[in-house]
Amino acid sequence: GAINMLGLAKRRKAKIFQASTSEVYGDPTIHPQVEEYWGNVNPIGIRSCYDEGKRCAETLFFDYHRQHKLQIKVARIFNTYGPRMHPNDGRVVSNFIMQALRGEPITLYGEGLQTRSFCYVDDLVEGFIRLMATGDEVTGPINLGNPGEFTIKALAEMVVAQTGSASKITYQPLPSDDPKQRQPDISKARALLDDWQPTIALEQGLARTIVYFDGLLKSGLA
C-alpha cells in the first residue's frame, strides 16, 4: 500500500503523509522515546507484522524523498483515542470502556504496570494539520502524542470510576513482546509545529469518549 501511494505521489508530484506509529520503537530501551532512537523490535515476534510494516513504510518514504525529491511528512503516532472509535477495534481505551459500560470484567495483561501515553484525537489532528503546513525541509519523523504517562492499571481504574461501573479488574498473562513503557518526547513537535502540544487531559478526553460509547450502547449500535 505504501509503495503504491508513493508511486502515485511521484507521478502526480504531490506531497504525501505517512501515519506511522510509536510501535516502530518496539519495547524501548530509552525513555521517553526520541525520533533519533532506532527502536528495539523483534522482527519475528507475534507483534512484528505491524511494527516492521510501519518501519518498512518509513524506509520507503525516505527512499522516495532521497531518490525522487518527493515531498514527505512522517508522523509517529502514540496511542490515540476519542469519540467515533469502533467499539470492537481492540484498542485498550475502547476495550476498557465497553467492558465497564457492560459491567463485564476489565482485562489487564501482566500486572497492568506497563505504561502508555494517550493522545485525544482532536490534539492529534491539530498536529497533523500543523505538520502538513510546514516547509518542504520538514520531513519528520515527528512524534505526535501526549507525554502524560499512565499505567494500564491506572487507566482501567479511571474508566471504572468515570463510568460508575461495578466491573472488576481481572489479570491475564502478558503477551510476548508487549512494550513495557511508551512515552513520546515531543520536543521536536513543539519546535517545528508552532509550539504544538496536547491540550486535552486524559480525564477530560475519557469523559467525552465514554459519553460516545454509552450513546452507542443505548441506541443498540454497539
| Dist CA 196 CA 147 (whole Å) | 12
Contact 16, 61 (CB under 8 A): yes
Q: Which of 25, 37, 50, 64 is labelled catalytic? A: 50
Question: Nine-digit cell at 188?
Answer: 521536536
Angle in degrees, CA 121, 185, 190, rounded to 5: 70
Rounded to 5 degrees, what are φ and ψ at 31?
Answer: -150, 130
| Dist CA 195 CA 34 (whole Å) | 17
- Residue 81 known to be catalytic: no
Q: Is 182 buried (19+), middle (13-18) or exposed (0-12) by CB count in 10 A?
A: buried
Active site residues: 50
